[in-house]
Amino acid sequence: MEERLSFVLEQMEDRKDELIELVKTLIAFETPAPPARNTREAQDFVASYLNRLGFDIDMWDVYPNDPNVVGTLKGKASDYYKSLIVNGHIDVAEVNEDEEWEKDPFTPVVRDGVIIGRGAADMKGGLAGALFALKLLREAGIDFPGDIIFQSVIGEEVGEAGTLQCCQRGYKADFAVVVDTSDLHIQGQGGVITGWITVKSKQTFHDATRRNMIHAGGNLFGASAIEKMVKIIAGLQDLERHWAVTKSYEGFLPGTNTINPAVIEGGRHAAFIADECRLWITVHYYPNETYEQVAKEIEDHIVSVANSDPWLKENPPIFTWGGTSMIEDRGEIFPSLEVDPSHEAVQLLARTHTEVSGTKAVIDVSPTVTDGGWLGDAGIPTAIYGPGTLQYAHSVNEQVSIDQLVKFTKVMTQFIYNWTHSKK
C-alpha cells in the first residue's frame, strides 16, 4: 500500500494539467456572495465528482438554490481507525462591475505559473486540490480504514452557517482540515461577532422642543438618540483601548481585538428629535475567547456607561448579537479556533508538509476568519491549511500559484492516506 501511495504522489506532476482544469471548472461556476443563491450548479458538480469516487452524498438546501454537499466514504474499519473531515466553501467574494479584470472574473486565465479568476485563492483552489487528492487515491485502488467526510458548504463569505448546519446535522470526525486560504500555513484563528446596539426613546418629540431639552429651565426629560449614541461609541472606544492593553495572543499584533462601529442608522426626518439610533458593530476577538464572553463584556461595560447618564439610565441600550447571514438578518458569527501544536493530526500534517515541500511547517494564526471555528466549536479538533494568499483573496485578478497548488494536493494526498490509516 505504501508503494501505491508513492506511485500516486509521483503521478501528481504528470497529471498537473488535470488539476488545473478542475480549478478552472470550479471558477467558471459563478458563485459570488453577495448576491448568493447561485451555488446549485457548482454543488451538483461537486456531488457528482464525489459520487463517482464512491462517496455517499447528502445534499440539502441551506437557502433556496444554495445547497450544502457532504460526501461520506465509510472506512473499512471505522471503529478502529481515525476519521477525517475535509471542509471548504463553494461561494466566492462578490465582484463589482467597475473592477478591471484581465478577463471576465469567471473566465479563468492560466499564465506565468498562476491561475487567475474569482475564487482561485479563496478558495476553489483548495477545494479542487482536496478533490483531486481523493481522485488520485481512489483511482489507485486505495481503500481507507477510517471514514472520510468531504464538506462543500455555502455562505462563508456572508457569514451564512453552511458549516454550522453540517455540525448540527451530526457530522463528526477525529480531525478536520479546512482547506481555506492560508499560504500553506497550519492555522487557528481569532473570532468575529457582529452586533446591533439600539438606543430608543420611550417618547417622540417635535424638533421645536430641542431648546427645552438642552437649556436650563427647559424642564423636558428628553434627548436625541443620535447624540446619546455618541456616548455609547465613546464607551466602546474606551473598552477597545482597555482590551488592547490587557489582552494579547501570540501571533497577533497588540490591539488586534477591535470593536468597529461599522454602520449607524437613526432618526425619522428633520422635523423630529431622533427617537431611535442603531449602531452595527464588528468585534474581533482572540482564539482563547468565545463570542459569548466578549458580547457579555461589551454589554456589561456599555450598561455601566448608560447608568452614568440620567437619560440612558431610563432608556437603556438594547443589544442584539450575531445572526445567521449578513444577507438575511444582517449579522454573523465566526467562532474562534485554537490549534494544539501537540495534537497527533497537527503533527502529522506538519511532518507531511515538510516532507513534501522541503520547508518547515509554519503553525500560526490566521489574520482573518473561516468556517474552522464552527468545527472547533462543535468539539472537533481542526486546523486551517490551504493554498493561496490573502494578498490575492478578494482582489481584482485573484490568483493562486500552480506550484503551491500542486504542493498542497500532494500534502493532502499523503495526509488523508496516513491519517485514515492511523489507529484510534
Provide the CA 390 distance to its chain's centre, in angstroms. Answer: 13
Active-site residue 156, yes or no? yes
The β-bridge relationship of strands 148-153 and 84-89 is parallel
Cα gap 209→206, rounded to integer Å: 6
Helix pair angle (2-14, 125-139), 10° resolution: 130
Q: Taking each helix axis from N to C terminus, what angle separates 402-420 and 2-14, rounded to the nearest 10 degrees?
A: 170
State the Cα–Cα distance between residues 331 and 322, nearest whole angstrom: 5
- Backbone dihedral angles phi then psi of residue 201, each to the nearest 5 degrees: -80, 145
Is 99 one of the catalytic residues? no
What single-letter DSSP state applies at residue 162? Answer: H
- Measured CA to CA, the distance from residue 309 to residue 296 in angstroms comes to 20
**What is the rounded end-to-end Cα distance, in angstroms, of the chain?**
20
CA-nearest of 139, 134, 114 to 125 is 114
Q: Which among 91, 160, 183, 289 is annotated as catalytic?
A: 91
Collapsing DSSP states into helix, strand and coil, what is residue 192?
A: strand
- Chain centre distance of CA 376: 12
* Residue type for position 346: V
Q: Name the active-site residue from 66, 122, 147, 156.
A: 156
Give me the active site residues, please. Answer: 91, 156
